[in-house]
Structure 1
C-alpha cells in the first residue's frame, strides 16, 4: 500500500537554480515538511534529472516523501516515492502500472468530488482539491469549497488541500478534514523558509 500524505506537503517553486532550490528544499524539510513535490515546467530534461536526484536525496535524509509533478518517466527513473498528475498529465492507471502498487499517485481534482471518485477508482492514492484560497501561483485556478474534504473523507480518501494556503488560514482546511496541505508561496516566499515550514507543520499538532 502507498504511504499516506499527511501534514505539510511542500511544492517547489518553478524555475529556480540548483543552489537556491536545494537550499530552499533543505530548509523546508528541516522545518517539518513531510513530503516534497518537485515542480519544474522548464522542459530541460538534464536539469530536471539533476535537480530531482538531489531533491530525492534530501528527502531520504529527512525521512520525507518525494513526489515528482507530472512526469511519470522521471519518477520511475530516479526511484521517487510517486508522482502527481493534473488533468492533462496522463492516465492514473497507466502511472500506477508503471510505478507499482506501493507508489504514490496523486491526482488534481480541482473543485470536483466526481473527479475524485474517478481518480480513486483508477488507482489514485490521494486526491488534491484547490485552489481552496486565492493563489498567486495559479491565479486563474478554480475555487474549491472546503466542504469537499468531508465528502472525500466519506470516500475514505487521502485528501490534500492546495491553493493560497498560509499559516493564517491552514487551520481552516485542516478543520475541514484535509490530511495534508500542499504549499508553494506560503513556505518558499517567506524570508525564513524553515520557520514558515515549522509554523505550517505545527498547525497539524494543535
Structure 2
C-alpha cells in the first residue's frame, strides 16, 4: 500500500514529545476516533523515534489516516510513513522527495513567511504550515504569525494551508475564516483527559 494523500481540510494532531508508548497508543487512537485527519510524530530522542513511528504507522493505517514524521525524512522512508514535515534547518524538498518518492507527503514550516510558502509550493510541497498564531505551551519562543499572512496565502496558494500554535476551540474559528484548511494542535487534544472529545470539539469549528 502506497502513501495516503494529504487531506484538504480537517484536524492535524501532533504528538507530545517523550510520551510513553502505552500512553501514546491510547491518546492517538482516541484522537483518531474523534476524527483527526492527520497525525504527526514529534519525538526528539532518536532511540525512541523509530519504535514510535512504527507503532503509529500501524495505528494510522487502521484509520486510513496519513502519518507524518517531523524533521526526519530518512526515518519516514525507512518505516513507510506517508510523509515528512520539514523546518528551515532540515533537508530540502528535493532531497526529501528523492528519499520518499513522488507520492509521499512533504509539508513545510513557513512561520510567517508567504515568500517561503510560495517557494515551497513551486518546489513541490504538498502543504505549508504557518504559525505560531497564539501563545504556545509546546513552543513558547516561536516567532508569531499574523492573520494577514493566512489571508494572503489563501489567495495565492493552491495547496492546503495549515495553521499552528496555541490553537484551541475558542480561537481556531478565526484561523479557518482567514484561510486555514487544517488546524494543527498538540495540547488542545493530547493535553486533555479525553482526546476523542477534544478532537470532535475542534472539528466542529469546520462546520460553523
Q: TM-score if structure 2 supplies the norm length?
A: 0.94
| Aligned: 1:175 with 2:177 | yes
Q: Secondary structure at the match of 1:108?
A: strand
Task: Tell me what 1:14 maps to.
Answer: 17
Task: Provide the C-alpha distance between the structure 1 equivalents of 2:80 and 2:46, rounded to a whole number of angstroms.
Answer: 20
Work out the CA distance in 1 between the residues paired with 2:171 and 2:102.
Answer: 34
SS of alignment partner, residue 128 of structure 2:
strand
- Could you tell which deviates more after superposition, 114-123 or 167-176? 114-123
CA contact (8 A) 2:5 2:66 kept: no
Give yes or no for contact 1:38–1:68 (8 Å, CA) kept in 2. yes
Offset at 1:166? 0.5
**2:165 equivalent in structure 1:** 163
Partner residue, 1:68: 69
CA pair 48-109 structure 1, distance change in 2 beyond 3 A: same
Aligned-partner Cα distance in 1 for 2:22–2:90: 28
Q: Deviations over 1:64-117 (max 9, x none)?
A: 111000110111011111000011111111101221121110000001001111
Q: Which residue of 1 aligns with 2:40?
A: 37
Gaps of 5+ in 2: none
Q: How many residues align?
A: 204
Instruction: Describe how 1:91-106 pairs up with structure 2 within 5 A.
Output: 91-106=92-107
Match of 1:119 in 2: 120
Contact 1:10-1:33 at 8 Å conserved across structures: yes
Instruction: Quote how far apart the aligned CAs of 1:51 are.
Output: 1.1
2:46 is paired with a residue of what secondary structure?
coil
The 3-state SS of whatever aligns with 2:85 is strand
Structure 2 Cα separation of the partners of residues 60 and 40 of structure 1: 20
Q: Is the 8 A contact 1:2 1:125 kept in 2?
A: no
- What's the TM-score, normalizing by structure 1? 0.95
Indicate the RMSD between aligned Cα atoms, in angstroms.
1.3
Runs of 4+ in 1 over 4 A off after TM superposition: none
How many Å separate the matches in 2 of 1:148 and 1:158? 14
Aligned-pair CA distance for 1:202: 1.8
CA distance in 2 between counterparts of 1:27 and 1:65 reads: 16
Distance 1:12 1:76 in 2: 19
Return closer, same or farther for 1:38/1:25 CA change in 2, 3 Å cut-off: same
Q: Secondary structure at the match of 1:199?
A: helix
**Following TM superposition, by how much is the alpha carbon of 1:3 offset from its aligned partner in structure 2, in angstroms?**
3.1
